[in-house]
Structure 1
């Protein structure tokens, strides 16, 4: 919808429209920055915004952040789930869970564009104006995730299959033999580093195989951030009817590469990684 907040922005915190599914703060809750937002004394009617959906859904039954009741505001065939913004807003576990519970209620009824934790709008009329201005783009984004869920697959390196690596890698085997014949501290360090590198290389190869097998089962795939230990982090937009088949495929790959790569699946999640509520050219700019 809009860029980071200015005095004219409908939101009073940083833009919610960034995606990062590489981690979760609580079960099935996307990671959030440890921010503190204080409600300005001059804006008593500020709203906490959870997500946007097509108009006509029922009001989420779950209590919102800080225990506030959730309501819907509607405009141009769209609705936003909101509650009164608390005086102070921190990423406490219970509030993260409340945020997620509201989104789960919305997602159970159809497509939703999820906002990240701590997104505020200064006034109801400002939010309605933004919904009206961005309605074509928001509607297109909702249609793009209709009938789908997001599943995040992570893979971490499994240490320990050294003997098999040494047997298959000529250079590693030669280094192991030299170290055995002339053992010393530096030789052991070199061998350990070479084995660790080979283990990570094997895990990364397995991670590529996993993505190659899973991507055809998804509508879209987004790769996340990885490191030396977590060598796979990918989000998949999967049709709800294909979720069981997708999970079976993950389980099959876990059995096939379990000596190299430990796989886990998180979800279903709101489709954070596959929506961008911002129009290409923000309204009024």
Structure 2
């Protein structure tokens, strides 16, 4: 299904437009939690699948309460079994269009549900720890020589060169630590999905885990955080719906 994203404003528009939360096997209970804009959530069942939907509001904003409502609906569905989660603001023009997609995409969707059955998503991010200088200078001949020259001939340009060299060295060490962390954590997962990284956030990876392995994975992340905490600050988020490991077929999205 086409994801409209989390732009500040999406206009749902026409009567009959539905907001889509996720797809599950048939037989789940309707979520009790209210959906986006407080709308009740209902299930559309077709071809052995269910789509959790509510009436789309006339104007859809990425407000905290609606983001929270979206997540609460998915949490209830995930508590009953596998779910293919939609990101915030996925719309379809009407119930029949969605039923048609469930029928034509049944094989694909059922396969996706089987892949995430009994699994959760955990996300690990790692950011550069600034100020990791003393040990770095001791181990790097080039930095050590540059630091000595700067002490002998101090000045603005010399300080800038040393600062830039140290920053590059710190980032290099953090990236190296990120590769080590990934190498140790990846074997614990069924699959991994890489997220965007930059000069500060050098690790962003989602892990598809068997639910039974979540506690062990948390311990492993804590161990890695202690091991590389002087170079890389790790953060762990989850369990999450398996956003990064599903690929649902497109449908019409409201604008």
TM range (shorter): over 0.9
Does residue 16 of structure 1 match 2:3? yes
One of 143, 165, 180 as aligned partner of 2:136: 165
Q: Secondary structure at the match of 1:98?
A: helix
Residue 121 of structure 2 corresponds to 150
Comparing 155-164 with 49-58, which one deviates more in the overlay? 155-164
Q: After the TM superposition, which residues 41-60 of structure 1 pair with which residues of structure 2 at under 5 Å, given as runs?
A: 43-60=14-31
CA distance in 2 between counterparts of 1:126 and 1:34 reads 24
Q: Which residue of 1 aligns with 2:227?
A: 256
Question: 2 CA distance for matches of 1:112 and 1:16?
Answer: 16
Superposed counterparts of 1:79-228, under 5 Å: 79-228=50-199
Q: Secondary structure at the match of 1:95?
A: helix
Residue 38 of structure 1: how far off its partner (Å): 2.0
Per-residue Cα deviation, 1:103-153 (whole angstroms, up to 9, x for no partner): 010011111111111111111111111101110100000000000000000
Partner of 1:37 in structure 2? 10
- Offset at 1:39? 3.0
1:267 equivalent to 2:254? Answer: no
Larger helix proportion, structure 1 or 2?
Answer: 2
- 4+ runs deviating over 3 angstroms: none
Query: Structure 1, unaligned stretches of length 5 or more?
Result: 2-14, 18-31
Contact 2:12/2:91 (8 A) holds in 1 = no
**Cα deviation, residue 61, structure 1:** 0.9
Q: The residue matched to 2:80 in structure 1 has which SS?
A: coil
1:161 CA drift (Å): 2.2
After TM superposition, the score normalised by the length of structure 2 is 0.96
SS of the counterpart of 2:105? helix
Give the Cα separation in 2 of the matches to 1:74 and 1:16.
Answer: 21
Of structures 1 and 2, the one scoring higher in RCO (CA 8 A, sep 6+) is 2
Q: Distance in 1 between matches of 2:171 and 2:10?
A: 41
Aligned-pair Cα RMSD in Å: 1.3
Long gaps (5+) in structure 2: none
Q: 1 CA distance for matches of 2:75 and 2:99?
A: 23
Aligned residues: 251
The structural deviation recorded for 1:35 is 4.1
